Structure 1
């Protein structure tokens, strides 16, 4: 077997050898555990086989471990052992993948979780420190201020008096709570969320990284979603306190309730959800009379790819269209994308799409790809031949917010209801 980190292997062997003569039952058990650790190490080395991709996969598993076990004591030696590589090599690859050394990454995860607890609970600072893995409240305070720029107490009170909130990609939730953002996000190719009607609210282009321009608008509190890494929006913390929303995936209701909780508007969040449920019930009843068993699909088109959105469990559209509204899935969705948010279609795959109705939207980031509409394959699609293709607004449909979902329902009812 190949052993890429022979020195680490020898340390395990030496420890095992030193305890070979133990007679105590607990010591014997511990030596069995040492042997299992050695065996696991060698087998992982064999699986890696010197492969860089294999090592990176193992490091990614350790990253996921940190995210799940941040509340427990974790050492670099422990993490490196998971990957069966040396501490030095592990740290090098870890930093290449995350941009941070392991101890700093662990601290970032812990502080992010602490920020969420500070916002979403009234727990004492000591209890929060313990919950995120800090045994010492004073050390927690020091690390928090070092990372965030203010103390935990100051952070907790910052949002209570904030009226100038910037929440890029999350403006939908603010408006649902009757809160006007101080800025709205825009994208140099996508544009801005026109469906929200924020014509008087200034733009901030998330693709520029112009933090000086952002600071001129003096936001007092910034709320980010799970996609902040893509735009380096974590650097917003240089300007004002930042809150990173817990990831809730397709369940936008949890996100809205979280907004209501941290901004003191739980009643408005509950009311917005109640109105949406009523809208769903009414729309479902209408569509049951008009659409019957006709199938519906959603395509996201660009010059780079054609994406088919998935079934009723995941994605921007499936849970609403197939789940809430009860619309029928075409065979291709059930066959290839039932449990997927979206899949990329080849031209051969597209030719198999037999949906009766087709909602399409164009992603301008890589070029719209409208030339697809002139191809023979497109023209032969069932929905195209029957003139049942409907173009919808990109940012309104590629979103999880309650106002976004209300817009989707309106768009569906306009052509099918």
Structure 2
């Protein structure tokens, strides 16, 4: 016996172009209707829910719905398709079967129809042949309508299925958070969600950014950190309490995550730790920690703004590692930029080392990680809130004084000029263009793309007609004193609008070439000093 099938028959297709004053009052739909917007804008209300209309919007309205349509300022162009729904092959089934089969149309309301060009192809062909006298062409039109429906149904059924899977996986994650001590496998997690292992792992990573067991272990380690801080329990007891099968595996996972063992972590919290964090000293000082040594480079100097006059320097380009070891650091913090001077694999064999793997632009994550390692997490929220308050106040002042004047940031050396990126990348963009809301010069967007900075050719430099320029000098490549400043005397530099208008501002290199929270605050001070 073949299961009865719902069949869709197109009875009319119209193409409507309405002016901006057009509207259709509330009406009760008697037929199944598909509305596909091709131009203009407007709004439709379906059963009391408003939906904005624009090119590419698609609605399927069923007989139990009420609608109201209004054209926007640009008018509204749309196809209206009216169709009937019939149940075929029902002779062998009970008479009330159609009443019990309620899902006679797979999706309704606002639906997805992408790519829209494919949807338009179907509609144009159906509309052009709507009045054909050729029986074969009418049959083809019927087939086109079925293909259009299939095109829409398949997309939206997939979306609904994805949403259902996502919710099931999200529910399982909450369950795991509450039951992290239990023994878990990925198969067991997937079974809780009633989703296949493959779909579960894929959706889990999409939601959390991690694969399931990594996420579970991080929950356990975070709980273990709390116990290391607040109790004198043995490591073996802590490991078993948070769900690890043995102390060895717990210690190995902990060290993989933080670069130090659980025992070292506990000692650092209680005894204070001697930390070396090259070019991350800003975060230590913000948290009230003095580094055992501070980083120095002959071409850049040190971070004078931190006030670490009594802290010995370590020249990363010249000093051997033994110079650092003589000061007996308990552990070292590195970010990705330090690998050219201090290879992580080499250092970690000598001193417990934590490698920050997230982008430097995410200074909040850096601050939280450093605070976590040093037992200073209680300070983090206040530090972040103080910065955000300062940035918001500055943004308001700048909005009134600078408005839409454009800004660019340049790093100048003996080798040439670098232009720093926009609001998402680099040492300066996130502060200038995101936090302070300044307007980047068009070349910033045009040239930097996914790079933190780009070298400017002579042609591009001459086209940099920004209203304001912030500049800093990199002495690393200078063979002669002041060689990096030669550009300032060239005709192309003197011709720039910002130079002619005296709107060029030299700032401290180490303060601006830094992702630290304190350096960001000083960048804001520098900007306010010259622009407000």
Structure 1 and Structure 2 fold alike (TM over 0.5): yes
Match of 2:493 in 1: 378
Q: 1:369 aligns with which of 474, 484, 505?
A: 484
> In the superposition, relative to structure 1, how do residues 212 and 346 fare at CA in structure 2: closer, same or farther (>3 Å)?
same
Q: 2:279 aligns with which of 169, 172, 194?
A: 169
Q: 2:396 aligns with which of 285, 307, 310?
A: 285
Higher helix proportion: 1
The answer to whether structure 1 residue 189 and structure 2 residue 299 are counterparts is: yes
Alignment of 1:135-214 (within 5 A): 152-160=261-269, 161-214=271-324
Q: Does the 8 A contact of 1:125 with 1:152 survive in 2?
A: no
Per the TM alignment, residue 347 of structure 1 is displaced from its structure 2 partner at its CA by 0.7
Alignment of 1:4-403 (within 5 A): 122=224, 152-160=261-269, 161-234=271-344, 235-367=346-478, 369-403=484-518
Per the TM alignment, residue 121 of structure 1 is displaced from its structure 2 partner at its CA by 5.6
> In the superposition, relative to structure 1, how do residues 263 and 373 fare at CA in structure 2: closer, same or farther (>3 Å)?
same
Match of 1:85 in 2: none
In 2, Cα distance between the equivalents of 1:180 and 1:303? 34
In 1, Cα distance between the equivalents of 2:330 and 2:356? 17
Structure number with greater Rg is 2
Could you tell me the TM-score, scaled by structure 1's length?
0.65
Higher strand proportion: 2
Q: Does the 8 A contact of 1:118 with 1:152 survive in 2?
A: no
Q: Does the 8 A contact of 1:313 with 1:339 survive in 2?
A: no
- Unpaired stretches in structure 1, ≥5 consecutive residues: 1-71, 73-112
Q: Does the 8 A contact of 1:118 with 1:156 survive in 2?
A: no
- How many residue pairs align between the two structures? 301
Per the TM alignment, residue 298 of structure 1 is displaced from its structure 2 partner at its CA by 0.2
If asked which structure has higher relative contact order (CA below 8 Å, sep 6+), I would say 1
Aligned with 1:369: secondary structure? Answer: helix
Q: Does the 8 A contact of 2:220 with 2:243 survive in 1?
A: no
Q: Which moved more, 1:169-178 or 1:116-125?
A: 116-125
- Unpaired stretches in structure 2, ≥5 consecutive residues: 1-185, 187-214, 226-237
In 1, Cα distance between the equivalents of 2:470 and 2:485? 14
